[in-house]
A and B are shown apart, each in its own frame.
Chain A
Amino acid sequence: MKTRYWILIFCAVILLCTALWLLPKSGGDRAVVSVVGKPLLTLDLSADGQIPLDCGAVLLIENGTVCVLSNDCPDQVCVRHGILTRGGAPIVCLPKRLVIRWEKDRSGVDAVAGAMP
C-alpha cells in the first residue's frame, strides 16, 4: 500500500515538472509589447495579422516577425525601424513609451553596451 502511494506521488511530480517545463516553450517565436514599462501583451508571431493598439499604433505580424505599420506619433521612428530582427534592437517609440522586443533573445549575449542613442 505504502509503496503504491509513493509511486503515484513520484509520477505526479514528474508529470507536473514536465508540464511546467514544456508549457512556455510551445508555439513559435513571441514578442512582448510594453507601454510605459509594463508588458501590455505577448504576440504570437506565427499568426499573421494586424493588431491595433489603444495608443494609436498598428502592428503588423508577418513572416514570423513584427513591425509597426502605422502610428500617430510625431517622429515616426518606430515605423521607419522596420521589422524586429534577431539580435537587433527592440522597436521603440519614445513619444508613446512603446517598446516591442523578442520574448527571449537568442543572439548569444545578455546585453549590448552602447546600443542606445
Chain B
Amino acid sequence: MKKFLISVLCLLLCIFSGCAAREDTRTFFCMDTEMSVSVSGADAERNTLRAENELYRLDAMLDAQSESSELYAFNHGAQPGGELSALIARSRHFSEETSRAFDPEILELMALWGYFHADASVPSEDTVSEALHAAQKSTDLGGIAKGYAAERLRAMLTENGVRSAILNLGGNIAVIGKNPSGRPWVIGLQDPSGAPGSFFASVRLCDKSVVTSGGYERYFEQDGVRYCHILDPKTGRPAQTDLLSATIVSAQDTLADAYSTALYVMGSARAAEFWQSHAEDFDFVLLRQDGTVLVTEGIAADFSCELHYEVLQK
C-alpha cells in the first residue's frame, strides 16, 4: 500500500511540474509604443512582470521629452548618473563609427521637423541650418532606447534562468534561445507597402535582435512630397536614400538599433561598404526602392524571401 501511495504521489508530481513550465505574455504601452514580452518556463509570470517594470524604469530615464527624466535633466545641464552617462558615451561611439549617419545630438532638429507633434510641416532653410550648426545641441536617445532596453531585458531574463523568450519592443524584436517548440524563432520583415504585420521576407534565428528602420513608419506629406521621420544628421533634412527599409540582425541589441537607422541613412552602396569592415558585429537585409533585396552572407542560409535577392559576400 505504501509503495502504491508513493507511486501516485510521483505521478501527480510529474503532472503538476508540467503545469508549472508555461508561457506568459504581457502587452503594454511604453516608450510611446506598444510592447509585448513573452517568456516560457517556470516563473514566466514573474519574469514578464520584471521585464515590464524594467521598461518603465528605462522610459522614465531616457524620455527626452519628459521634464522628469534624467536625460531631460542632462540636456539642461545636470550631471548624468553612471548608467545614463555610459549609454550617452556608447551612442557617441556609434555616431563616430557610422561617420554620423547615426547621431544622438539631433533633438532640436527633430523638434523643428515636427517629430513630436501631429501637425508637422517643412521648416525654413535658415532654421534648419541654425539648428545644424548650433554650439549647444541636445541629446535624443530615441534611436537606441529600445535597443538598449532589449539588451537590459536579455541580461536580466537570462540571469533569472530564462531560456526561451521573445520581446517585441515597438517593432524591435529580440529573442532569447529557441522558441517553445524547440526550433529557431522565425521573424518576418515588414512589407513597407503591405498592411501592418505583412512581411516580404523572414529570418530564422536564436539569441539575436532584429531591428528595421524605414521611412514608411512615420512621415508627413507637404505639396506632394513625402518627408520621412528619419533625419540625416549631416544635412538636417529627411534622409535621401535608395532604401525602403534597412534591417539589422545582431547579437548586440543596442548596436542593432543604432545601425538600422545609420544604414537607412547611408543608402545601399555605403551600407554595403560599412558592413565589409563591421561584418563580425552584424548582418543586414536591405530592401531597395526598386524592389531588389540585398542580404549579407552571415544570415543568407536562414533567410527566405518572396522577392529576388542578392547575397553580399565578404
Q: A87 to B245, alpha carbons, bound, how many Å?
A: 20
Report if B172 contacts A (CB, 8 A). yes
Report if A16 contacts B (CB, 8 A). yes
Stretch at the interface among A23-31, A54-62, A91-99: A91-99
Chain A positions within 8 Å of B212 at CB level: 113-114
Beyond A110-B187, A113-B171, A114-B247, whether A85 also contacts B195 by CB under 8 A is: yes
Chain B positions within 8 Å of A92 at CB level: 34
Q: A16 to B4, alpha carbons, bound, how many Å?
A: 19
Main SS class of interface, B: strand
Q: A110 to B179, alpha carbons, bound, how many Å?
A: 8
Report if A51 contacts B (CB, 8 A). no
Q: Is the CB of A34 within 8 A of B27?
A: yes
Stretch at the interface among B72-80, B95-103, B197-205, B292-300: B197-205
Q: A113 to B185, alpha carbons, bound, how many Å?
A: 12
Could you mark each residue 292-310 of chain B with 1 if its beta carbon is under 8 Å from any beta carbon of chain A, else 0?
0000000000000000000
Could you mark each residue 66-98 of chain A with 1 if its beta carbon is under 8 Å from any beta carbon of chain B, else 0?
000000000000000000010111101010010
Total interface residues on B, using CB and 8 Å? 41
Total interface residues on A, using CB and 8 Å? 29
Q: Is the CB of A114 within 8 A of B245?
A: yes
Q: A36 to B28, alpha carbons, bound, how many Å?
A: 6
Q: Is the CB of A114 within 8 A of B190?
A: yes
Report if A7 contacts B (CB, 8 A). no
Beyond A13-B15, A89-B195, A110-B185, whether A115 also contacts B190 by CB under 8 A is: yes
Chain A positions within 8 Å of B187 at CB level: 109-113
Chain B positions within 8 Å of A110 at CB level: 166, 175, 179, 185-187
Q: Is the CB of A116 within 8 A of B247?
A: no
CB of A32, distance to nearest CB on chain B (Å):
9
Could you mark each residue 265-301 of chain B with 1 if its beta carbon is under 8 Å from any beta carbon of chain A, else 0?
0000000000000000000000000000000000000
Taking A87-B197, A109-B186, A113-B173 as known contacts, 6 extra A-B pairs with beta carbons closer than 8 A to each other, sorted by chain A number, are: A5-B4, A37-B29, A110-B187, A112-B198, A113-B172, A113-B212
B interface vs A, CB < 8 Å?
4, 7-8, 11, 15, 26-29, 33-34, 52, 166, 168, 170-173, 175, 179, 185-190, 195-199, 202, 210-214, 217-218, 245, 247
Please list 7 pairs of residues, one from A and one from B, whose beta carbons are closer than 8 Å in the complex, sorted by A's number: A34-B27, A101-B27, A109-B202, A110-B166, A112-B198, A114-B190, A114-B212
